[in-house]
Amino acid sequence: MNQDKIRNFCIIAHIDHGKSTLADRIIEKTGLLTEREMQSQVLDNMDLERERGITIKAQTVRTVYKARDGEEYVFNLIDTPGHVDFNYEVSRSLAACDGAILVVDAAQGIEAQTLANVYLALDHDLDVFPVINKIDLPSADPERVVEEIEDVIGIEAQDAPLISAKTGLNVEEVLEAIVAKIPAPKGDPDAPLKALIFDSVYDSYKGVIIFCRVKEGRVTRGTSIRMMATGAKVDVVEVGYFGAGQFIPCEELSAGMVGYITGSIKNVKDARVGDTVTNDERPCAEPLPGYKKVNPMVYCGLYPADGAKYPDLRDALEKLQLNDASLQYEPETSVALGFGFRCGFLGLLHLEIIQERLEREYNLDLVTTAPSVIYKVHKTNGELIELTNPSNLPDPSEIDYMEEPMVSAEIMVTTEFIGPIMTLCQERRGQYMSTEYIETTRALLRYHLPLNEIIYDFFDALKSRSRGYASFDYELIGYERSELVKLDILVNREEVDALSFIVFSGTAYERGRKMCEKLKEEIPRQLFEIPIQAAVGSKIIARETVKAMRKDVLAKCYGGDISRKRKLLEKQKEGKKRMRQVGNVEIPQKAFMSVLKLDED
């Protein structure tokens, strides 16, 4: 394959600005796919992703485009996940491209995430050209958006195609722009093999399927390959490229090409995103730069609602991990919840996705404990603990000091909401950095915030306090020393370990009070009165009481319609099933998660 005729690119956009729709149109217009084969969104093939309108797992499509110059070009459209939790995956996908299409909504303009992704693309030396989408909307203002792109991002946008991915309007211009503006790949096909892994999936027949961009050299069936970071070695069984929704085997992948490799690789951990594939017999001198092992940022306990389902949960996590090297888990035990797992995630969205997949695909009913970040606990004896479970916090007398992870956050907001958003950031212990006006009505706020303040409900609070207009992006910037305490919750005078969490000492009282109030709402009345207390150490800082169950309504008999009564009783009984017995109190499963959403008043 002639490198001149290959274009490797991705589409970057804010959620809902039309990335997947444009991808579909490109696939459709390049004609490799009949209309009938088109799913409504070919790239997003996981149910969950479709419901959330975001792309979680990167996928890639190869299509053939016959350009106006009469030549056929191979387009490798590399999909990128669209959420900050998956930033590292995004960066590896970008590294596999030579250029990027920036899609900006003609009505919404630039958002925080757009900026973050564009900067990431420019960092990878990609040629970025803009496309203005949704010009069919009545509120579209392409001229303003063109100016905004030039002012804020500093890239040429005057001749940006004005399109509607939805109706297909002017999509041909995008195709021509890909040919004209995205550079063809370079790289010596005769040099030693050097290929970047940008994704991998587990297939029960083929084992792990490595998605890669060949930078130099070539790989065919039978090549002995080695992953340079993990050291895993395997003989290639098949190479190929990506049809829409299918794997199409081919003879060889060579420099400049994007495709897949299979061998008998049993675990995605052996073929991590960012690693370099080389020929074991003729290795390249240096791996590609930028590999890192991604580490979880957020931890929480996952417990089966029904204790007997513990082995099922273990099997399910094992299976999910086959496809998701960033998911970590290890067994733990909670007094309140029994046997479960402490799991590590890239962020809260990742956590929610895994939780939902466990519930839907594996039919498990789960109890999730409060997510926690990793705290560094410096003990007086010089020991350093990386704490992922609040229950393991040493006695305060053994602690010298603690540190918590900090992020640098960028929040894009219309000027009328700057006040409320700054208040929110202050409430969350944000350190104000700067305000930058993008245009007269919009500004970019920069804050340093403790990660622990944004993993719960920050995004929801941000949306509600800006009527949905604010957008948000963040990156980890390191650890800072902080006054932290463990807040314990006692239900009927018994500590519920699954509800303990680490909190800034200045907000412990407020948090404790709100948690007690919330739990009071969530815990149904029982035969006796139940005190709910929040404590720091041995000091009770807040208290609420769930009154004893009084009486039921005296129902009428509905002309012998017993099914009504039965349904009522079944509902009552079902409710009890979703409860956890702590001491002699029953706590509903959802109470464990709902206490995190304390910003709702």
> Least separation, in Å, of the C-beta of 308 and other proteins?
17
Q: Which is nearer to other proteins, 285 or 557 (CB)?
A: 557
Helices (H), 208-332: 310-323
Residue 308 touches other proteins, criterion: CB under 8 A? no
> Least separation, in Å, of the C-beta of 320 and other proteins?
34
> Least separation, in Å, of the C-beta of 565 and other proteins?
7
Q: Choose among 64, 27, 25, 21: nearest CA to 44.
A: 21
> Least separation, in Å, of the C-beta of 561 and other proteins?
4
> Least separation, in Å, of the C-beta of 570 and other proteins?
6
Report the distance separating Cα 44 and Cα 47, nearest Å: 8
Q: Single out the residue of 39, 572, 581, 584 in contact with other proteins (rule: CB under 8 A).
A: 572
State both tokens at 597: 């959403």
Question: For residue 494, how far is the Cα from the chain centroid?
Answer: 36
> Least separation, in Å, of the C-beta of 589 and other proteins?
18
Which of these segments, 85-93, 180-188, 436-444, 567-575, binds other proteins (CB under 8 A)?
567-575
Which of these segments, 165-173, 229-237, 545-553, 590-598, binds other proteins (CB under 8 A)?
545-553
Q: Which is nearer to other proteins, 233 or 547 (CB)?
A: 547
The CA–CA distances, whole Å, from 451 to 47, 219, 348, 473, 475 equal 29, 43, 11, 12, 9
Which of these segments, 102-110, 247-255, 384-392, 551-559, binds other proteins (CB under 8 A)?
551-559
3-state secondary structure at position 320: helix
Residue 565 touches other proteins, criterion: CB under 8 A? yes
Residue 231 touches other proteins, criterion: CB under 8 A? no
In order, the DSSP letters of 543-596 are EEEEPPP-----PPP-TT-HHHHHHHHHHHHHHHHTEEEETTEEEEHHHHHHTT
Q: Single out the residue of 558, 581, 597, 600 in contact with other proteins (rule: CB under 8 A).
A: 558
Q: Single out the residue of 195, 550, 579, 588 in contact with other proteins (rule: CB under 8 A).
A: 550
Cβ atoms 441, 418 nearer than 8 A: no
Residue 554 touches other proteins, criterion: CB under 8 A? yes
Site string for other proteins, 402-441 (x = CB under 8 A): ----------------------------------------
Q: Single out the residue of 295, 380, 563, 581 in contact with other proteins (rule: CB under 8 A).
A: 563
Cβ atoms 277, 235 nearer than 8 A: no
Q: Which is nearer to other proteins, 433 or 549 (CB)?
A: 549
Q: Single out the residue of 566, 584, 597, 600 in contact with other proteins (rule: CB under 8 A).
A: 566
Q: Which is nearer to other proteins, 386 or 552 (CB)?
A: 552
Helices (H), 378-442: 418-427
Residue 549 touches other proteins, criterion: CB under 8 A? yes
Q: Which is nearer to other proteins, 68 or 576 (CB)?
A: 576
Cβ neighbours, 10 Å, residue 293: 14
> Least separation, in Å, of the C-beta of 309 and other proteins?
20
State both tokens at 19: 């990335």
State both tokens at 63: 């299509």
Q: Single out the residue of 36, 285, 538, 553 in contact with other proteins (rule: CB under 8 A).
A: 553
Q: Single out the residue of 246, 308, 556, 601 in contact with other proteins (rule: CB under 8 A).
A: 556
Q: Choose among 155, 148, 236: nearest CA to 193.
A: 236
Report the distance separating Cα 217 and Cα 219, nearest Å: 7
Q: Find all residues with CB under 8 Å of 377, minimum gap 6, and list them.
A: 384, 385, 386, 387, 393, 394, 399, 402
Residue 570 touches other proteins, criterion: CB under 8 A? yes
Strand order in the sheet with 194-203: 233-235, 224-227, 276-279, 194-203, 207-216, 258-262, 238-243, 246-250
The CA–CA distances, whole Å, from 370 to 86, 319, 342, 519, 597 equal 21, 24, 11, 13, 10
3-state secondary structure at position 161: coil
Provide the Cα torsion 230, 238, 182, 169; round to 10°: -120
Residue 401 touches other proteins, criterion: CB under 8 A? no
Residue 577 touches other proteins, criterion: CB under 8 A? no
Q: Single out the residue of 36, 139, 397, 527 in contact with other proteins (rule: CB under 8 A).
A: 527
Q: Which is nearer to other proteins, 190 or 561 (CB)?
A: 561
Report the distance separating Cα 414 and Cα 443, nearest Å: 6
Using CB under 8 A as the binding rule, the residues of this chain from 15 to 34 that contact other proteins are none
Residue 581 touches other proteins, criterion: CB under 8 A? no
Q: Which is nearer to other proteins, 285 or 527 (CB)?
A: 527
Q: Single out the residue of 205, 289, 557, 601 in contact with other proteins (rule: CB under 8 A).
A: 557
Size of the site for other proteins (CB under 8 A): 24
Residue 576 touches other proteins, criterion: CB under 8 A? yes
Burial category of 302 from C-beta neighbours within 10 Å (exposed 0-12, middle 13-18, buried 19 and up): buried
Q: Single out the residue of 35, 386, 395, 552 in contact with other proteins (rule: CB under 8 A).
A: 552
By DSSP bridging, strand 494-495 and strand 501-504 are unpaired
Q: Choose among 166, 179, 139: nearest CA to 9.
A: 179
Q: Which is nearer to other proteins, 292 or 525 (CB)?
A: 525
Contact footprint for other proteins (CB under 8 A): 527, 549-563, 565-566, 568-570, 572-573, 576
